[in-house]
Structure 1
Amino acid sequence: MTKKTSKYDKILNTFIQLLIEGGYQSATISKIAERAEVNPSTIFRNFTDKKGLLSAVVDRHLKDLSTIFDGVSMTGNIEDDLVILSKTYQEFQVDHQEIVLIGFQAALEMPEINKAVEEIPVLFKKILGDYFSDMKKQHKIRETIDVEAATMNLLWLNFGYFLSVIRFDHPNISTSATDFYDKQIRFFAKSLV
């Protein structure tokens, strides 16, 4: 890895951390430079400005998104497969939470962020819809199951859990990842067979 690549990644990762900690407005060039231990001119040279940094974050996010389900193997067991798909989705969301957080904060001013945030559930919906259709053809889920409704319900269940993880600490609305997969996802899966 070259020094330029190393500095580039260090700046980008620092920017992402500041986005998570305080949002877009508080992630100033001076804070990024200080924390990344670089001169502000290095940031401007690599990214032009804060919008350039944000664009690089979106590009990285979309690149990672294109491979989110690569290597995920389905077993044919509805419960296990939905846990695998949900874990993959949750891990990606947590690893890329800055996009979702900024999407909520600045969607109107930065439509490119809104587009990037939408890509996650759109892809997950396609994967789930294809999976449920295939399981229906194989008679592994009930014939009466509405694939679109099942897809949207699992999508909303996962997105709701992700939001509760990154936003809330209250014990009455929090649950561990293990409980989420074992109690919520498996419960949902059982309703399909």
Structure 2
Amino acid sequence: MYDETQLKIIDATMTLIIEKGYSGATTKNIAKLAGVNESTIFRRFDGKKEIVIAAMELPKWNPGLSESDFTYHGDLEEDLTSFSRIYMSKVTPQMVKISIGLRSAELEGAALPGIMKVPMVFKKVLMNYFTQMIANGNMRDCNVESISLQFIAMNFGYIFLDASFGDKLVGVSKEEYIRNSIRVFVSGIREK
């Protein structure tokens, strides 16, 4: 798909975007980090925007979450704990930093489809799951989209805080956070 030089350019670009944001990742700095001439970048890609779009296709720079990643058995606490673990194993602090670094008017939404894939997949899985759990009488009737967004926010919030502040703010392990937050979340939605 991409040759070694292109991959070096993609990796350098995304590394700099994490560190400096999209605007701060200049082609001069990309070339230096990739170990290529700046002109090589433009021979291999039309520009920085095309490099980002190429990166969104690669597992290293896009977590590739899919509906098939999620299986469930009908036990709210067990299933949602599994969902959180899967989500947090793929949506890492690095992925959050990429997402933040790609928020730029210069991209004009070019990276948005790649960034939106993960939350859209997770939302769809959750909405289907919660709809089924309500129909089976396993949880109280509620607005499925709203509860799905709450669950996404609960999971993304931990990763965002960890990516942004690390142990300066986050004093609980990911696993402990998952266990505690799922227990509280499930107690609020379980059918009484």
Normalising by structure 1, we get a TM-score of: 0.80
User: What is the CA–CA distance in structure 2 between the aligned matches of 1:67 and 1:34, rounded to whole Å?
Assistant: 32
Using the TM superposition, name which of 52-61 and 35-44 deviates more: 52-61
Partner of 2:99: 100
RMSD, aligned α-carbons: 2.8
Distance apart, 1:186 and its partner CA: 2.8
Normalising by structure 2, we get a TM-score of: 0.81
User: What is the CA–CA distance in structure 1 between the aligned matches of 2:66 and 2:16, rounded to whole Å?
Assistant: 24
Partner of 2:87: 89
Give the AA of the match of 1:18: L
1:192 aligns to 2:165 (yes or no): no
Mind listing any 5+ residue stretches in structure 1 that lack a counterpart? none
Distance apart, 1:89 and its partner CA: 2.2
Distance apart, 1:191 and its partner CA: 2.2
Give the AA of the match of 2:174: A
Partner of 2:44: 46
1:78-119 CA-partner distances (Å, limit 9, x unpaired): 112112222222233225334411344x15752223444334
Partner of 1:183: 180
Partner of 2:155: 158
User: What is the CA–CA distance in structure 2 between the aligned matches of 1:137 and 1:121, rounded to whole Å?
Assistant: 24
Pair 1:160–1:113, CA change in 2 (3 A)? same
Matched residues, number = 188
Give the AA of the match of 2:126: L
Runs of 4+ deviating beyond 4 Å: 63-67, 170-174
User: What is the CA–CA distance in structure 2 between the aligned matches of 1:99 and 1:172, rounded to whole Å?
Assistant: 20
Q: Does the CA-based 8 Å contact 1:68-1:88 persist in structure 2?
A: no
Mind listing any 5+ residue stretches in structure 2 that lack a counterpart? none
1:139 aligns to 2:137 (yes or no): yes
User: What is the CA–CA distance in structure 2 between the aligned matches of 1:160 and 1:67, rounded to whole Å?
Assistant: 18
Other structure's SS at 2:111 match: helix
Other structure's SS at 2:189 match: coil
Partner of 1:122: 120
Other structure's SS at 1:25 match: helix
Q: Does the CA-based 8 Å contact 1:20-1:98 persist in structure 2?
A: yes
User: What is the CA–CA distance in structure 1 between the aligned matches of 2:166 and 2:172, rounded to whole Å?
Assistant: 9
Query: Which residue, out of 16, 22, 45, partners 1:24?
Result: 22
Distance apart, 1:64 and its partner CA: 5.2
Pair 1:108–1:160, CA change in 2 (3 A)? farther
Partner of 2:78: 80
User: What is the CA–CA distance in structure 1 between the aligned matches of 2:186 and 2:52, rounded to whole Å?
Assistant: 38
Q: Report percent identity of matched pairs.
A: 28
